[in-house]
Amino acid sequence: MITLTTAHGAPALQVENRPGLSLPRVVVRPLVPGETEPLQTVFDGLSAHSRRMRFLAPVPRLLPAVARTLADIDHHRHGCWVAELDGEPLGIGRYIVDKDDPTLAEVAFEVVDRAQGLGLGRLMVDVVGTTACDVGVGGLLWTMDPHNLRIRQLALPLGGRFEMDEDVLEGRTPLPVLPTVEACRVIRCARIARRAAARRRAA
């Protein structure tokens, strides 16, 4: 079940007793624009193999410039969410609206190695997909290493078509569907984050 809560003084989502989630309680919150610490923490929790699967190339460290780009969010064209357990970041999920077709958004996910296989990825897909829908997105774009079985297991159940393009697997899927009450809570949290990001940019 997804309910509203607060984390770091801002609205967030508390997730408990969710089918497929093997953690007792998880908090999922919008990343604050410019906030790089959770990105670094999750990156540090990825093995070399997981980093290669996520970034499609060996990435030994997260460069400050890359971290700043990943944290340059407004929760409209670029949204990012952090999954935490007892305040520790375990996963990141993001969408970036396609510049040529705003009804599509590219998605990316990473979960620290010790928490992989526990259902966090599916939770992040549901949250990210729901928030993307609220800004007019109707489909998700995926680009993955064909050997990335965990991401394939997240994408393929949504349907859609996937094809190899050189050495990567690309495809488009419909959005995930949450129960109405839970979707409304996710959207409410996302809208608050969007307004807060807009105020920060205007200040």
At residue 201, the pLDDT reads 83
Q: Distance between CA 76 and CA 198 in Å, rounded?
A: 9
* All structural domains of the chain with their residue ranges: 2-202
At residue 100, the pLDDT reads 96
Q: What is the 3-state secondary structure (H, E, C) of the chain?
A: CEEEEEECCEEEEEEECCCCCCCCEEEEEECCCCCCHHHHHHHHCCCHHHHHHHHCCCCCCCCHHHHHHHCCCCCCCEEEEEEEECCEEEEEEEEEECCCCCCEEEEEEEECHHHCCCCHHHHHHHHHHHHHHCCCCCEEEEEECCCCHHHHHHHHHHCCEEEEECCEEEEEECCCCCCHHHHHHHHHHHHHHHHHHHHHHHC
Q: 139-144 and 104-111 as β-strands: parallel, antiparallel, unpaired?
A: parallel
| Homologous superfamily of the 2-202 domain (CATH) | Gcn5-related N-acetyltransferase (GNAT) (3.40.630.30)
Cβ neighbours of residue 104 under 8 Å, at least 6 residues apart?
A: 97, 98, 137, 138, 139, 140, 141, 172
Q: Distance between CA 59 and CA 44 in Å, rounded?
A: 11
Tell me what the pLDDT averaged over the chain comes to: 95
- Residue pair 108/154 in contact (Cβ under 8 Å)? The answer is no
pTM for the full predicted model? 0.96
At residue 58, the pLDDT reads 94
What would the pLDDT profile of 125-181 be if each residue is shown by its tens digit?
999 999 999 999 999 999 999 999 999 999 999 998 899 988 999 999 999 999 999
At residue 95, the pLDDT reads 98
Block means of pLDDT (10 residues each) for the chain, length 203 residues?
Answer: 93 95 96 97 98 95 96 97 97 98 98 97 98 97 94 92 91 96 97 93 81
- Residue pair 30/80 in contact (Cβ under 8 Å)? The answer is yes
Structure tokens at 66: 């890359």
At residue 105, the pLDDT reads 98
